[in-house]
Structure 1
Amino acid sequence: MLGTPAFGTTFAITAISTYLPTLLGVESGPLVTGAVIAGEGAAGLLLPIVVGVLNDRRSRVVADRMRFVLLAVPLCLAGLLLVATDLDTVVIICGAAAYFVGHFAYLTPYEALYPDLVPDRVSGRSRTAASSWRFAGLGAALIGGGFLIDLWAPAVFLVAAAAVAAGTATLLRVLWSRRDMTLPGAGGSGAGALRAVGRVVRDREVSRILLATLLWNLALQGLKAFVVLFFTVGLGRSASFVSGVVFPLVALGLVAAIPLAGRAADRYGDRPVLAAASAVYGAGLLGAGLTHSWWMILLVPVPAAAAGTVMTVNYSALMRVLPDEHHGAASGLFLLSRGLGCLVGPLAVGVAVSLAAPAFPASQGYDAMWFVIGPAVLAAVPLLLWPSRRRSAS
């Protein structure tokens, strides 16, 4: 039940990034729309560290951590409701900005609850539960959101607000009996913000996982931004082919992998599972750039399953090596590395496609994307091969 808020937060952020452009309209232009959506990445760079360190220094029991979550909820709901009003462009942009700020202010203390409360022996399975809720929120927003937009455009944002509120209420109910439970390293070290963050970053095992997380998210965001264009512009396929053939095969791989990924990590260790999944994932991405044969489409579930494994288990690996007194700072750094990937991935792929058009005339340069995101995933493998230590039991 600790994973239930992931449904609402994923539904909401997907609704904002996917359907907000329909409210901004053609008159706003792609520059304004792109700048508004990029606000997610900007918030992801600025907020998590500040909120995480402050959360560590002010949290001694579970109830303290939850207070930070509850302070963010009104901002999330206000942002979604402002977007839903669909009054004018300025109101919509203000609503989106409010939600982005609330989103990361919410996620930072929420993610810190996992290493606070979940024993090492089941940390992988705990992330499987969270990924299952997140995947359900993504699917509900992409599929159900389309129908809601057709019925009444603001409806998808109202449903998103209800989902965030319901997930938070469930979390409160689950943790109420544990509200007075003392957190590991209660109250933090009292060090300044930069010193606390630096102490976490200087831990080599933590920094390697954070760097691998950046590489995985660079690849994921670059893929999400350009995969449809690769098929429609690069290969001349229809959008219905992508939504009717490619995406269902991706979903098949995710559905097969996510329930097993956490159990495999708990049994065999996070690092070996992540290294093997990254190798398969990266090889599959490179293979897509080397050949366009029909049988490559049939193999899509394999790298998709590996990608689902990576994105499920990555935070579990971090949980096992965190210093007890810096869970908030570490969760902030984790979200920061994800935010950097969100910013760098689409930019790197976009530049590569633009420059590589003469080298890949058959796909109008879009084959270049695979040679950016594939090596990024493979570069994470050596980071996972050092011997790991488990975080101390508390």
Structure 2
Amino acid sequence: MRPARARLSSAERRLFLLLGAPGLGLSLSLTVISTYLPVLARGFTGSRAGIGALVGGEGLVALLVPLWIGGLSDRVDTRFGRRVPFLMATAPVAAVALALIPLARSLPVMAVEVFFFYAAYFTYLAPYRALYADLVPLSLSGRAQGIQGIFSQVGLGSALVGGGLLLELWRPLPYLVAAAALLLGTVLLVLGLRGTEGPPAVPQRGSRSSAAEVWALLRDHRAIRALMIANALLSLTLGGMKAFVVLWLTEGLGKSMKFIAGAMTVVAVGALLGALVSGQLADRHGAARVLARTLVVFGLGLVLPAFSSSTLLLGAELPLIAFCGGAASTLPYATVMQRMPARSHGAAAGLFDVSGGVGTLLGPALTGAAIDLLRPLFASTQGYAAMWLVLSASTLASVAMLRRARSG
């Protein structure tokens, strides 16, 4: 156990609230796409694996964009700072693409719009993450990520609870709300950080590229390697879950959208509490330790839905799983912040997004393939119960990598 300040100063609370504000729009927009895009895509294709690949395109873009953008944001400098110009340029692009997705008249058109959203999203994300490493003391990284996690969980919960209801009222509505939230959060952050200076830009070091910076991080830092693998495995879990949880409930268990909204309310409240409590515990006990113990409970809990359709049993387990899921979404970057070199905040943030992209790319595709392949064994849920075996296995595997990082 290590000492942690009980209270944040007013300046720290203001900074953490400003940094967290875009998290609501980012989470809301990404969750609307990953959760309800499959519902829209079902109008164009019946292939679960195909739907998983469309949603998993997030991971493909995440493999290409953050490495370059994160390292670039370490080296450029403007009158707006290093990170903020990326946010100002990409938030409007992401918002427009998001608003157009539900208006698509064919699967190829939808795929193009989704690609542009993901390209803007990941150009935004790595510099945004790097702001935390630039401005937040390591001793407060858990609570900073906890506050950001609260914003993210509010966005997640709003999408899960209200998204389906808004979708029934008017298909574009949840996408328009998400676009507006992203723009508003970005404006608040940009205006609030005026005059706030982070560390100076990293000077150019010969002809070393962003990719070379990332390779140096992986080569020279064993703990970072392990953390990135753990993040990829955890992103596999979360990506696969978000892609198919609504279809599991509607087609697998035959639940209505109103039932889903009620269940997602429980998930949202539990996840919000998980984000809040885990951030405080991370500053006291260490982010990696708290995350690893939480993921053990999370991974074991994900086994139950594979073998039970009982509303009573699943409902009893749901609050605990939601709490652990909130912590699992909040703490991974806090663990990386503890290990990243001071001169490579952007490169490390980009690498974090790439590792998440690997998992997000594989998660929906592997989960969708498992549903299709194991459908005969899980016929009562049309194969959807098989998804929980994949998600449990990837979660528990991430724990082993976290323990390796702690010993590295």
TM-score normalised by L of structure 1: 0.85
Match of residue 339 from structure 1: 357
Distance 2:263 2:394 in 1: 22
Deviation at 1:148, TM superposition (A): 4.6
Spell out, residue by residue over 1:205-227, the C-alpha distance to the aligned partner (whole angstroms, 9 max, x if none).
11111111111111122222333
Deviation at 1:40, TM superposition (A): 2.6
Spell out, residue by residue over 1:5-47, the C-alpha distance to the aligned partner (whole angstroms, 9 max, x if none).
1112222333444556787894x44579776544433222211
C-alpha contact 1:79 1:94 (8 A) present in aligned 2: no
Distance 2:247 2:170 in 1: 28
Given residue 100 of structure 1, which amino acid in structure 2 is its aligned partner? Answer: Y
Distance 2:309 2:26 in 1: 36
Matched, 1:54 2:72: yes
Match of residue 296 from structure 2: 279
Given residue 298 of structure 2, which amino acid in structure 1 is its aligned partner? Answer: Y
Distance 1:147 1:196 in 2: 45
Distance 1:95 1:114 in 2: 29
Secondary structure in 1 matching 2:339: coil
Distance 1:87 1:364 in 2: 28
Distance 1:97 1:251 in 2: 28
Which stretch shows the higher mean deviation, 366-375 or 223-232? 223-232
Distance 1:240 1:346 in 2: 22
Distance 2:379 2:168 in 1: 38
Distance 1:160 1:247 in 2: 17
Matched, 1:328 2:366: no
Deviation at 1:88, TM superposition (A): 5.6
Match of residue 7 from structure 1: 24
Which stretch shows the higher mean deviation, 357-366 or 195-204? 357-366
Distance 2:40 2:392 in 1: 35
Match of residue 385 from structure 1: 403
Matched, 1:206 2:255: no
Distance 2:385 2:161 in 1: 28
Which stretch shows the higher mean deviation, 140-149 or 370-379? 140-149
Q: Where do 5+ consecutive residues of structure 2 fail to align? A: 1-17
Matched, 1:261 2:291: no
Which stretch shows the higher mean deviation, 319-328 or 252-261? 252-261
Distance 1:82 1:290 in 2: 39
Distance 1:2 1:319 in 2: 15
Deviation at 1:241, TM superposition (A): 7.7
C-alpha contact 1:189 1:325 (8 A) present in aligned 2: no
Deviation at 1:326, TM superposition (A): 1.4
Distance 1:56 1:67 in 2: 12
Secondary structure in 1 matching 2:203: coil
Distance 2:248 2:109 in 1: 34
TM-score normalised by L of structure 2: 0.82
Spell out, residue by residue over 1:40-61, the C-alpha distance to the aligned partner (whole angstroms, 9 max, x if none).
3322221111111222222499
Which stretch shows the higher mean deviation, 246-255 or 225-234? 225-234
Q: How does 1:1-394 map to 2 (within 5 A)?
A: 1-18=18-35, 26=43, 28-29=44-45, 37-59=55-77, 63-80=81-98, 82-83=100-101, 86=103, 94-146=112-164, 148-149=166-167, 152-179=170-197, 181-183=198-200, 186-187=202-203, 189-190=205-206, 191-202=208-219, 203-234=221-252, 236-240=253-257, 243=260, 246-292=263-309, 294-360=312-378, 362-386=380-404, 388=406
Given residue 132 of structure 2, which amino acid in structure 1 is its aligned partner? Answer: Y
Spell out, residue by residue over 1:81-102, the C-alpha distance to the aligned partner (whole angstroms, 9 max, x if none).
5558x48657765543322211
Aligned identity (percent) is 35
Distance 1:366 1:87 in 2: 27
Distance 1:253 1:80 in 2: 28
User: Taking structure 1 as reference, are residues 172 and 83 closer, same or farther at Cα in structure 2, changes over 3 Å only?
Assistant: same
Given residue 239 of structure 1, which amino acid in structure 2 is its aligned partner? Answer: S
Secondary structure in 2 matching 1:176: coil
Spell out, residue by residue over 1:107-146, the C-alpha distance to the aligned partner (whole angstroms, 9 max, x if none).
1111111111110111011111111111212233344445
Distance 1:40 1:328 in 2: 20
User: Taking structure 1 as reference, are residues 177 and 249 closer, same or farther at Cα in structure 2, changes over 3 Å only?
Assistant: same
Cα-Cα RMSD: 3.2
C-alpha contact 1:281 1:306 (8 A) present in aligned 2: yes
Which stretch shows the higher mean deviation, 258-267 or 148-157? 148-157
Distance 1:51 1:126 in 2: 23
C-alpha contact 2:87 2:128 (8 A) present in aligned 1: yes
Deviation at 1:337, TM superposition (A): 1.6
Q: Where do 5+ consecutive residues of structure 1 fail to align? A: none
Distance 1:102 1:353 in 2: 31
Distance 1:371 1:33 in 2: 19
Distance 1:227 1:83 in 2: 20
Deviation at 1:376, TM superposition (A): 1.2
User: Taking structure 1 as reference, are residues 39 and 349 closer, same or farther at Cα in structure 2, changes over 3 Å only?
Assistant: closer
